[in-house]
């Protein structure tokens, strides 16, 4: 079985967010433990996709796994999967994924860009959970829930506050588990929009085994509507200010958000131990 590691939301290797991609040929899903083991072996969140040739309106079923658990949604691994399918077909295409998060659409272009069409997660202001500011080590301007996305969006005063965060990951993981959240998005407006981006963010999910995610596509389904409302524009660019960094171009279209980026395959090989495939 072919397996790939693809850097998403970047146009160069060893940047953006790496994802494993495993395109299955089975009619049903492998054992969940096996998929977690594959993700652990790769050391990255991994997308598993299987074809749905007989179902109307969708092309592939899609799931995502970290070494610790199944994810409810993963933007960068979806982009990586679309890149793998586009590389195999060598032509622009529209791919419709059936997932537990709903219908996800990817459109590939001849110039190498890929646009994801995801449900928008319009933020609603909520009280900050006890201990969040202390766990992040920052003063929070406001906090927002993101509905089915499961993240908490925390707004700080400026870009430098986002970049200088040094969270207490043990405390943050405990807080996330206690409040039933997926992760924490921290964001602020760009210090200088002439730099090519409109807002910055970082993403922390220690309860899922991810201390800091390099570039979180799904988080931008909440960031895009939040900053679109704040800045008065539907088309924006977000910089995720991790060590690897990555740019996500966003566009709000009603109840959907378009996320555009590029991807680069950095490793491709064959997976030989497929004992979990016979489990259903």
- Are β-strands 183-189 and 70-71 bridged in parallel, bridged antiparallel, or unpaired? unpaired
- In sequence order, the 6+-apart residues with CB closer than 8 A to the CB of 144 are 123, 124, 125, 126, 152, 153, 154, 155, 222, 226
Helix (H, G, I), strand (E, B) or coil at 278: helix
- Are β-strands 183-189 and 151-155 bridged in parallel, bridged antiparallel, or unpaired? parallel
Helix (H, G, I), strand (E, B) or coil at 275: helix
Catalytic residue (one of 32, 41, 45, 139):
45
Whether 45 is catalytic is yes
> Is residue 12 within 8 Å of 264, Cβ to Cβ?
yes
* Of residues 122, 57, 103, 101, the one with CA closest to residue 254: 122
- In sequence order, the 6+-apart residues with CB closer than 8 A to the CB of 37 are 67, 276
The residues that are catalytic are: 45
């Amino acid at each position: 079985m072919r397996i790939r590691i693809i850097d998403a939301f970047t146009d160069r290797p060893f940047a953006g967010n790496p994802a494993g991609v495993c395109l299955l040929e089975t009619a049903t899903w492998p054992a969940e433990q096996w998929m977690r083991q594959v993700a652990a072996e790769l050391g990255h969140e991994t997308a598993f996709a299987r074809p749905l040739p007989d179902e109307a309106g969708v092309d592939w079923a899609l799931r995502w796994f970290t070494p610790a658990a199944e994810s409810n949604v993963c933007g960068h691994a979806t982009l990586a999967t679309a890149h793998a399918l586009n590389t195999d077909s060598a032509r622009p295409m529209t791919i419709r994924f059936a997932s537990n998060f709903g219908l996800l659409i990817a459109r590939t272009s001849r110039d190498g860009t890929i646009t994801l069409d995801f449900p928008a997660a319009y933020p609603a202001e909520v009280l900050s959970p006890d201990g969040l500011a202390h766990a992040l080590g920052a003063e929070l301007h406001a906090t927002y829930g993101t509905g089915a996305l499961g993240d908490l969006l925390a707004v700080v005063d400026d870009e430098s506050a986002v970049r200088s965060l040094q969270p207490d990951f043990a405390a943050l993981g405990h807080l996330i588990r206690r409040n039933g959240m997926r992760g924490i998005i921290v964001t602020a407006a760009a210090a200088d929009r002439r730099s090519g981006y409109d807002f910055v963010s970082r993403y922390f999910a220690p309860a899922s085994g991810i201390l800091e995610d390099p570039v979180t596509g799904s988080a931008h389904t909440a960031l895009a509507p939040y900053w679109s409302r704040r800045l008065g524009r539907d088309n924006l660019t977000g910089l995720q200010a991790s060590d690897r960094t990555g740019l996500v171009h966003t566009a709000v279209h009603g109840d959907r958000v378009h996320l555009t980026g590029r991807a680069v395959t950095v490793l491709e090989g064959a997976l030989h131990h497929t004992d979990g495939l016979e489990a259903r």
